[in-house]
Amino acid sequence: MGIEQDHSGTTRVEEEARWSNWMVSANAGDADAYAKLLEEIGGVMEQYLRRRFGEVDFIEDCVQECLLAIHRARATFDSTRRFRPWMFAIVRHKAIDMLRRRGTRHRHEAPERRDQESAAPATDPAIAIQAAEALKGLAREQRDALLMTKYQGYSLNEAARQEGVSVTAMKSRVHRGLRQIKRLLAEDED
């Protein structure tokens, strides 16, 4: 097994050292190093999130949230530890927070507005294709549960009724789906 390289031929070890050095310099007041760091990791975050979720509309917002979180937490970076795991822990938590927030926001909207914004009922093949692209790696039941509750704005009761399962079963599917996404996001930390 060889050393993993990105598209530019840079190894992760070189990337790690560069990012860590830029963060240390940024924390010492070097604005140029900080600008380089944010620009480079912003692109990496976007690629990472697109690989995990596909072409969904919250990716750009999530990258911005992650960059803001890194800015707020930059003083917590320990230069004796690796930068990548620190950064991807923030990305993972922000992505999960955004998925949860998205579901909460949709649940509080009026049903007629939510229906207008939804592309179609969950049984529409276009939704199934979108779910497969956006949530690769999840079991079908988990993927559908997350699409219905987090993207389409169905309540747990509505989604359970739609799928013909109990509310407890739907809640379990959502929980397991979010846990699997968290696991998938954690894979890149190493």
- Distance separating alpha carbons of residues 78 and 186, to the nearest angstrom: 19
pLDDT in tens for each of the 190 residues of the chain? 444 445 455 688 899 999 999 999 999 999 999 999 999 999 999 888 888 877 667 788 888 889 998 988 888 888 898 999 899 888 988 888 887 777 655 444 444 434 434 333 333 444 334 344 446 677 888 877 877 787 667 788 888 888 888 988 888 888 888 887 777 666 545 5
- Distance separating alpha carbons of residues 67 and 31, to the nearest angstrom: 15
Residue type, 159: A
Tell me if the domain spanning 11-108 has CATH number 3.50.50.60. Answer: no
pTM exceeds cut of 0.85: no
Residue 117 tokens read as: 């914004």
- Distance separating alpha carbons of residues 42 and 4, to the nearest angstrom: 20
pLDDT for 186:
62
pLDDT for 140:
80
pLDDT for 37:
93
Residues 6 or more apart whose CB falls under 8 angstroms from that of 119 comprise 126, 127, 130
Q: Of 48, 17, 23, 46, nearest to 36 (Cα)?
A: 23
pLDDT for 119:
38
Task: Enumerate the CATH 1.10.10.10 domain ranges in the chain, comma separated.
Answer: 113-190
Tell me if the domain spanning 113-190 has CATH number 1.10.10.10. Answer: yes
Burial (Cβ within 10 Å: 0-12, 13-18, ≥19) of residue 165: middle
pLDDT for 94:
86
Residues 6 or more apart whose CB falls under 8 angstroms from that of 173 comprise 141, 142, 144, 145, 146, 165
pLDDT for 21:
94
